[in-house]
Amino acid sequence: MAQQADLAGRGVFSRPASGLIRVAGSADVFIYNVGLVSVGIAIALNQYYGPSLYPGAGIWLSTLLAAAGMLAIAATFYFWSVIFPRSGGVYVSLSRGLSPGFAFVGSLVETVILLYYAAFAASLIVKVGLSSFLATVGVVAGNRTLLDWAASTSEPSGVFWIGTASLVLAGLLLATGTRRYFSVQKVLFVLAVAGTLVLIAVLLLGSRATFKANLTELTGLDYAGVIATAKQNGYQTGSFDIGTSIQFLVFPLLPLLGAVQSIGLGGEVKRIRRSQLFGMLGAVAATGLLIALFDGLAAKAFGYEFQGAIGFNSISGIADGSTEASVGASPWFTVLAGILTSNVLLATVIMATFVAWIWFWVPAELAYTTRTMIAWSFDRIAPDRLGYVSQRFHTPVVAIGLSTAGAIVFMWLIAYRNIAFLSLIEALVVVWGAAMVAAILFPRTRRELFQASPAASSRIAGVPVMVVTAVISLAFFALVLFLLWNDPIAAGPMFTLGSASRELWMVLGIVVFGVAWFLGTRLYRRRQGIDVDLAFRQIPIE
C-alpha cells in the first residue's frame, strides 16, 4: 500500500519534467526537415525509377503535386505543434485528440516503419553514395583499386557493415547532445547546399554531346545503343501524360513526408510558432521546387528517354545496356553526373554531396522515433527507464540505443535478405491520416484545449484553418493510399481476397502486440494505484 501511495503521489506522469531542453531555433528546424526530405534520395529515386518504369510521367509535375499535398499536411501538423508544443510526434496529438489506445498502437506501427526507413537510408548511403562514388571516380580516374572497392562495398556484407556503422554513428551523435547534433547538421547542410550549387552549374554548363562522348569513352556504352537495347527488350517510351504523372507522385512524396517530422521534437524547439511554421512549410516549398528543378536539368544533360532506357536496362538486368558491367554501379543520377563531368574533383564533390544529403535522413529518423518512445514512458504506458534523459547531455540515451538496435535489425534484412517493405508506407499513411481526422474533430471534442491554443485564432469564415487543412490533407492521403494500393511497382496491395503480403502480417503482429501491451500496462498501472487515463486529459510534460 505504501508503494502504491508513493507512485500515485508522483502525479499522472512518470515525472514532473521531461529533462529535454529547448535548443532548436528556426534554422535548426528547417535544416532538420530539409534533411529528412533528403534532396539526394529524392533525386536519385525520381530520376532512376520515373523515366524507366513510368514513361510519360512528368517528374517535375509529380514532385510539385506531391509538394502541394504536403503543404496542407505541413499546415495541419503545424497547428498540432502549437497546440501541443511537446516532443512525441503524432502520438501526442492522437492520444489527446482521438484515442489513447489507438495513439499507442498507431505510433508503435509508425515507429517500426520509420526505423525501417532509417536503415533504408543507411543502405542508400552505401549503394547510391559510397559505392557509386568509388565506381564513378574510379572510372574517371582510371583507378582499378577504387573499382574493386566499389564492388566490395556493394556486396551484402559491405552494405550491412557500412550501413550499420552509419546507424551507430548517428545514434552516438544524437546521444551526445541535441545541441551538438544540430551544430553538426548545420555544417553538413552548408556543405550539401554548396555541393548542390556545383552540381546545378555542372548540369547547366554540360551539354548532351559532351555526355554522349564521355559515356562512350568511360564506359564503352553507346548513347543510342543503350536506348535501342532497352526498346528491343520491351521498354516503351511515352509522351508526357498527366495521368502517369499523378500515378508517379508517390515516389517524390516518400522523401517529402520527412518535411513535417519536426513535430516529433516540439519540446526542444524555441519560439515554436515561428520555428515550426518556417521549418515545416518552408522545407516543403524549398525542397519541392529544388527536386522539380533537377528533373529539368537531368532532361537537358542526359535526356529523358536515355534516363528511362538505361534505368530500364539496369532494373531488367541487361548488363550490356547499363553501367553495372563497366562502372560497377547502377546508373543512379550521381553516376550519370560523374560521367558528364569526366573530372575527378567535380565527380568527388557531386558524390560527397549526395552522401551528405542521404546521411541527414538517418539520425533524423532515429531522433523522431526516440521522442515517441519517451512520450510513451512519460504517460506511463512504457517502462519509466525508456524515458530516461541524460542529465549531462539532455538526450534520451536509452531510447536512442533501442532505436539504433531496431534499425540495425532492418539493416540486416535489407542487406542479406534483400527485403523491401514497400507497402509499409500504406500503414504510415493510415496513421498520419488518423492525425488529420483528429484535427478535424479536435476543435469540438476538446474545445477547451483548442480555444486555449494559438491555433484557435486562425479561422476562415469562422471555420478553424486547422480543420480546413486537415480535410484537404485527408483527401490527399486517400488519393495516395489509392495510388499505392493499385501500383505494384511503388507498393501494391497489402492484401487481396486470396493472399496477404508479409507487410500486412508484420503490421498485424505489431497491432496485436500493441493492443496487448496497452491493455496490460493500463491494468498493471491501475494495480499500482495509477490511472494512466488521467494523463491523456492533459497537455504532456515539458
Give dist(CA 176, CA 505) in Å, integer: 37
CATH number of domain containing 360: 1.20.1740.10
Question: Among residues 321, 281, 255, which one has the least CA distance to residue 117?
Answer: 255
* Position 362 in a domain: yes
* Position 542 in a domain: no
* Position 244 in a domain: yes
- 329 close to 323: Cβ distance less than 8 angstroms: yes
The one-digit pLDDT tens for each residue of the chain (542 residues) are 334 334 433 467 877 778 888 889 999 999 999 999 989 889 999 999 999 999 999 999 999 999 999 999 999 999 999 999 999 999 999 999 999 999 999 999 999 999 999 999 999 899 888 888 888 888 888 888 988 888 889 899 999 999 999 999 999 999 999 899 999 999 999 999 999 999 999 999 999 999 999 999 999 999 999 999 999 999 988 789 999 999 999 999 999 999 999 999 988 999 999 999 999 999 999 999 999 999 999 999 999 999 999 999 999 999 889 998 888 889 999 899 999 999 999 988 988 898 889 899 999 999 999 999 999 999 999 999 999 998 888 899 999 999 999 999 999 999 998 887 778 899 999 999 999 999 999 999 999 999 999 999 999 999 999 999 999 999 999 999 999 999 999 999 998 888 888 889 999 999 999 999 999 999 999 998 888 888 888 888 87
SS3 of 390-441: the string is CCCCCCCHHHHHHHHHHHHHHHHHHHHCCCCCCCHHHHHHHHHHHHHHHHHH
Work out how many domains the chain is built from and give that number.
Answer: 1
- HSE toward the beta carbon, residue 524, CA cutoff 13 A: 10
* Position 473 in a domain: yes
pLDDT at 5: 36
No. of H helices and E strands in the chain?
23, 2
Question: Among residues 408, 427, 407, 411, which one has the least CA distance to residue 419?
Answer: 411
pLDDT at 373: 95
**Cβ count near 278 (within 10 Å):** 18
Cell (9 digits) for 526: 491501475
* Position 502 in a domain: yes
pLDDT at 9: 36
Using DSSP, state whether 275 is helix, strand or coil. helix
Question: Among residues 62, 60, 80, 70, which one has the least CA distance to residue 34?
Answer: 70
DSSP 129: I
- 392 close to 152: Cβ distance less than 8 angstroms: no
Give dist(CA 112, CA 406) in Å, integer: 8
Q: Which amino acid is at 408?
A: I
Cell (9 digits) for 416: 542479406
pLDDT at 139: 87
* Position 48 in a domain: yes
- The angle formed by the CA atoms of residues 179, 181 and 182, to the nearest 5 degrees, is 65
Cell (9 digits) for 220: 564503352
Cell (9 digits) for 315: 532494373
Give dist(CA 117, CA 425) in Å, integer: 10
Crossing angle of helices 26-37/39-53, nearest 10°? 30
Cell (9 digits) for 73: 499536411
- 301 close to 209: Cβ distance less than 8 angstroms: no
Its domain, for residue 131, covers 2-537
- The angle formed by the CA atoms of residues 197, 201 and 207, to the nearest 5 degrees, is 150
End-to-end Cα separation, the chain, in angstroms: 30
- 174 close to 366: Cβ distance less than 8 angstroms: yes
- HSE toward the beta carbon, residue 13, CA cutoff 13 A: 16
